[in-house]
Amino acid sequence: MDVKTNFEVIVVGAGASGLLIAQGLKLNGIKATVYERESATTYLTRPREWGMSLHFGQNSLSKCIPPNLMSRMNEALCDPYDTERRTSWPLYNGQTGEKFFDMPGHNPIRVSHRKLRALLSEGIDIRYGKRLVKLSRTEASSSATAKFADGDTATAALIVGCEGAHSAVREALVGRERAVNTPIDVQVFNACWRLPADVALLQRKDSPVFRVGYHPAGMTWVSGIQDVKDPGDPTTFLFQQLLSWPGRPHAEDFPDQRSKVEFVKEKARIYAEPWKSAGLNIPEDTELHVDRIAIWKPDVTVDWASSCPLWPHVAVAGDAAHSMPPFRGQGLNNALTDAERIVSELVEVKHGIKSLGEAVRSYESEMKARGAKEVEISTVQSRMVHNWDTLMESPMMKAGMDAYKGDVGEYTKYLDQKVGKQAGSVS
């Protein structure tokens, strides 16, 4: 196969990163097929849903999708009726309800995890029900083969693992032990529920799309609109509520669902409005999962060409390449940046400007440095926003939603001196 001019790409995982890579390759005349483990039905009906702040990633998005899809971006919005252009998100003292900061960002919007996938899936060749279980190299060494749980195989010059935080392609690149995520002692409840009309309207007063309430007791409560069926009927509004805390209680400390709902109500009682009424009105049958935050940082000192015999025929993007805490709203934005970067490198391969190895190396070098830094700074952010004494010094106060350009070491030194190793640090 002539890798310079005629090659195909397999993308594993139909999340935002995988779909944008497929869109970008298609736009540039490179054949890409996406293999997704979920069935065509469960892919669209999966129960867990959340909103994501999309800001600098919009730039990458616009470079990889055709103008007709870009003009339909409002379909991916949590509230498709909200047309206001913003320059920041409001941050509040959750105990008093006072706003203390407008966190700047590049036209931040809230997109739905589910709706964004639906939009980016359009026109893409997706094979559902294909769970990647194994990768191997072909005899000729000019391609790699993916094996799926149902026994099917697929071969291509490049397989890009976009299968999220538990990535088999990541494992192939760095080895099983090094691919493991590291837990952080921060717990999250992330769920969506509807509210009575008056409470729903209160949630949207002053900050109709998104707000974060930091509580002096060391908790954060992100709340935002998740879906609007009828803008004239507040009972159709769905809200995302993300409550996080360091240390205990851990998942095993909750005996049942009821105790989790009670926990939300107990915290709501010490929060100001609108979190108070959002929490007190949580439906009793809300299914709550305790998610423990975990991270994975690409090691910039490890050359994947040496650690993986399949290189350069395998690569990773998105959460598979860097898993970060959500408290700076960076995972999606970096996933989309990865997609745009890898597409632009592969276009150079198509035009014979670079070999596949040169392109993959160039992609990895930029992605690893950017991803590693963001994992570090998002981890620092995670520790600092769950501690009232350090909140006001946290990275978001300096960098807003933008990529952090400074020295992360300064923050870790400050934290270690000020609070030492505490709940919320890497365990």
Ligand X SMILES: Cc1cc2nc3c(=O)[nH]c(=O)nc-3n(C[C@H](O)[C@H](O)[C@H](O)COP(=O)(O)OP(=O)(O)OC[C@H]3O[C@@H](n4cnc5c(N)ncnc54)[C@H](O)[C@@H]3O)c2cc1C
Binding site for ligand X (CB under 6 A): 12-18, 35-38, 50, 52-53, 113, 130-132, 162-164, 168, 190, 242, 318-319, 326, 329-333, 335
Shortest Cβ 337–ligand X spacing (Å): 10
Instruction: Give the nearer residue to ligand X in terms of CB position, either 163 or 345.
Output: 163
Integer distance in angstroms from the first to the last C-alpha of the chain?
Answer: 47
CA pair distance 286, 290, nearest whole angstrom: 13
Neighbouring residues of 199: CB distance < 8 A, sequence distance ≥ 6: 274, 277, 278, 281
Q: Which is nearer to ligand X, 209 or 408 (CB)?
A: 209
Angle at 75 between CA 74 and CA 76, to 5 degrees: 90
Task: Report, in Å, the least distance between residue 353 CB and ligand X.
Answer: 27
Strand-strand pairing, 31-35 and 126-127: parallel
- Closest contact distance (angstroms) between CB of 393 and ligand X is 21
The answer to whether 162 and 318 are in contact (CB under 8 A) is yes
Nearer to ligand X, 12 or 209 (CB): 12
CB 57 within 8 A of CB 73: no
Q: How far apart are CA 333 and CA 100, in angstroms?
A: 25
Six-digit token string for 214:
């930091």
Residue (164 or 424) nearer to ligand X, CB: 164
Question: Are the C-beta atoms of 335 and 18 separated by less than 8 Å?
Answer: no
Report the nearest approach of ligand X to the CB of residue 18 (Å): 5
Nearest to ligand X of 35, 245 (CB atom): 35
**Distances, alpha carbon 282 to alpha carbons 2, 95, 122, 288, in Å:** 58, 19, 35, 11
Closest approach of ligand X to the CB of residue 197, in Å: 26
Least distance from ligand X to the Cβ atom of residue 39, Å: 10
Nearer CB in complex with ligand X: 14/124: 14
- Which residue's entry shows tokens 């934290």? 415
